[in-house]
A and B are shown apart, each in its own frame.
Chain A
C-alpha cells in the first residue's frame, strides 16, 4: 500500500500536466504589430459579447420565453400550450446561446493567441460562473430590498 503522497508513480516527473507548450501543426505566422493590437481589441469585443450573452441567459431570455408563453395562452386560451411553448423556446434559446458561446470562446482563444498571448484555455467557464453570481445577487437585491417578499399582512387572506 502506498503511504507516501509524493510517490506519484513518476507521473509528474519533469512537467506537471497541462503546462506543456501549445503544439501547432505548423508554426503560425503572426501578423504585424497593428494587427496584433487590433486582435487584442477584437478579443475584448468577443469577451464582452460572451459576457452579454451569458447575462441574457440568466434573465432576459427566460423572461422573454415566459412573455411569449403568456401571449400564446392569451391567443389560444390553453395554459398547457402556453407553458409547453414557453419551455420549448426556453430550452432552444438557452442551448442555442450556449453553442454560440462555446464557438465564441474558441474564437476568443485563437484571437488572443493571434494578439500575442499564450492563451491555452477559454474564459467561458469563468464568465458563466461570474455572471450567474452577479445575476443571483441582483435578483436577491431586487427581491429582498426593492420589491420585497410580499405584504406579510395579507398572509392567509
Chain B
C-alpha cells in the first residue's frame, strides 16, 4: 500500500454514497416484497371478506347489553324478518345454529333406525354422516332425478337430502325437476333441500323452490347465512316448511335457542347489507361465466355451476395431483377425493383480478406433463 493510499483508506463515504447504498437496499426490499406472491386459498365455499361494519356494530351492541341471559326462545325479530322476506308465515320458519345442525336434526327426527337416506353423489359429505348418526343407512345415488326416483322404489327410503346448488358440483336443481321429484316420490319420503348456496344462483329466482312448499308438505328447505352472507362464524341458518310442518319444525328447534349475538348479526345483515350481497352475487355470476369459458377453452371439463365455485377435471390428471400442482403455484383448492369424485377439484371463484392468475396456474399445472 502506497503512502497516499494508506491515508485514503481513512476517507469516509460521502453522504451521497451512503444514501445511494441505503436507496439500493430500500429498492431491494421493495423488489422482494413485490415479488412475494401471496397464497390464494380457493378451497373454502364461504365468503372470505370481513363482515360489514354495521353487522359488527349490531353484534357489539348486543354483546355489551349483556350476555348473561339465555336467548329468547319465542319469536324473534330475525324470524319475523325472514318470514316477511320469503313470504311465508313465521310459524313455518325456525332458526338454528347453522343449516347443517337443522339438517342433522331433521334427519334424526325423520329417520327410524335402518331406514335409508338417499343423496345424489358427489354431494355435501355431511349427508351420509347425518344418516349414520341417526342410525339410518346412507345411500349415494349417481345421476339425477330419475335415478333418485328409481332408488325410492324399495320401501325403506325415508329421506332424500339434496343440495341446490350442489356442493361440490355447483349444479342447480331446477324447480321443474324438483317438482317432478316431489310428484314421483312415494308417500312418506321427505325431501331436505339444502339451499345454503342458492344466493349465488342466477338461473332461476332464488325463492322459486319455496313456492313448492304449499303443494308438497314433505319438502323442507334449509338456508344459511354462512355462504353469500359471509357470516359462517355466527353459526346461523333457518329451515322453512310447508303447511302442516309446524310440528316437525318444532322438533328441529334448538333446545336453548340461537345465540342472540348471532341473531343480531344476521338481522342487521338482512336490513343493511342486502344490496351489498346482491352486488356480490352478481359479481360472482360474472366471474363464474368468465372462468368457466376460459377453462373450457383450455380443455378442462367444467360442470355447469350456479354456486361460487367450479367443479372441474382435466383428462388423465387426478384431482389430488392437480390440487398438488396448483398448491406449488400458491393456489389452494379442494381435491375431489375428499368430496366423492377423485378425478375432480373444486375451485372457489377468486376475487376480481385473480381470475387470470388462476387460469395461468391451471394452464401451467396441466402443461407440466
Q: Does B8 contact A (CB under 8 A)?
A: yes
A31 to B18, CA, bound (A): 26
Distance to closest chain A CB from B22 (angstroms): 10
Q: Is the CB of A114 within 8 A of B10?
A: yes
Chain B: residues with Cβ within 8 Å of the partner, total of 10
* CB < 8 Å neighbour of A110 from B1, B10, B13, B18: B10
Residue of B nearest to A111 (CB): B7
Q: Is the CB of A26 within 8 A of B18?
A: no
A28 to B11, CA, bound (A): 9
Q: Give the chain B neighbours of A28 by CB distance below 8 A.
A: 9-10
Distance to closest chain A CB from B15 (angstroms): 10
A28 to B13, CA, bound (A): 12
Q: Does A24 contact B (CB under 8 A)?
A: yes
Residue of B nearest to A31 (CB): B6
A57 to B139, CA, bound (A): 109
Residue of A nearest to B11 (CB): A110
Q: Give the chain B neighbours of A107 by CB distance below 8 A.
A: 7
Q: Does A15 contact B (CB under 8 A)?
A: no
Complex interface bits, B1-23 against A, C-beta within 8 A gives 1, otherwise 0 = 10000111111110000100000
A83 to B61, CA, bound (A): 93
Q: Does A11 contact B (CB under 8 A)?
A: no
Distance to closest chain B CB from A80 (angstroms): 46
* CB < 8 Å neighbour of B9 from A23, A29, A111: A29
A79 to B12, CA, bound (A): 51
Q: Does A102 contact B (CB under 8 A)?
A: no
A43 to B158, CA, bound (A): 104
Q: Which of B10, B11, B18 has the most CB of A within 10 A?
A: B10
Distance to closest chain B CB from A41 (angstroms): 15
Complex interface bits, A27-43 against B, C-beta within 8 A gives 1, otherwise 0 = 01101000000000000
Q: Give the chain B neighbours of A25 by CB distance below 8 A.
A: 11, 13
Residue of B nearest to A30 (CB): B10
Chain A: residues with Cβ within 8 Å of the partner, total of 13
Q: Is the CB of B6 within 8 A of A24?
A: no
Residue of A nearest to B10 (CB): A113
Q: Give the chain B neighbours of A113 by CB distance below 8 A.
A: 10
Q: Does A75 contact B (CB under 8 A)?
A: no
A31 to B10, CA, bound (A): 12
A25 to B17, CA, bound (A): 10
Distance to closest chain A CB from B1 (angstroms): 8
Distance to closest chain B CB from A29 (angstroms): 7
Q: Is the CB of B13 within 8 A of A114?
A: no
A20 to B126, CA, bound (A): 66
Distance to closest chain A CB from B112 (angstroms): 73
Scan residues 21-73 of chain A and give those whose CB is less than 8 A from a CB of chain B. 22-26, 28-29, 31
Residue of A nearest to B8 (CB): A110
Q: Is the CB of A23 within 8 A of B13?
A: yes
A113 to B18, CA, bound (A): 19
A26 to B18, CA, bound (A): 13
Q: Give the chain B neighbours of A31 by CB distance below 8 A.
A: 6
Q: Give the chain A neighbours of B12 by CB distance below 8 A.
A: 22-24
Scan residues 178-203 of chain B and give those whose CB is less than 8 A from a CB of chain A. none
A29 to B8, CA, bound (A): 11
A22 to B18, CA, bound (A): 10
A30 to B8, CA, bound (A): 12
Scan residues 80-108 of chain A and give those whose CB is less than 8 A from a CB of chain B. 107
Q: Which of A107, A110, A114 has the most CB of B within 10 A?
A: A110
Complex interface bits, B101-126 against A, C-beta within 8 A gives 1, otherwise 0 = 00000000000000000000000000
Q: Give the chain A neighbours of B18 by CB distance below 8 A.
A: 23
Q: Give the chain B neighbours of A29 by CB distance below 8 A.
A: 1, 9
A31 to B9, CA, bound (A): 12
A-B CB contact pairs (8 Å), 7 listed: A22-B12, A23-B12, A28-B10, A110-B7, A110-B11, A111-B7, A114-B7
Chain A interfacial positions (CB closer than 8 Å to B): 22-26, 28-29, 31, 107, 110-111, 113-114
The 7 closest A-B pairs by CB, nearest first: A113-B10, A22-B12, A28-B9, A110-B7, A110-B10, A23-B13, A28-B10
Besides A24-B9, A28-B9, A113-B10, 6 new A-B residue pairs in contact (Cβ under 8 A), listed by A number = A23-B12, A24-B12, A24-B13, A110-B8, A110-B10, A114-B6
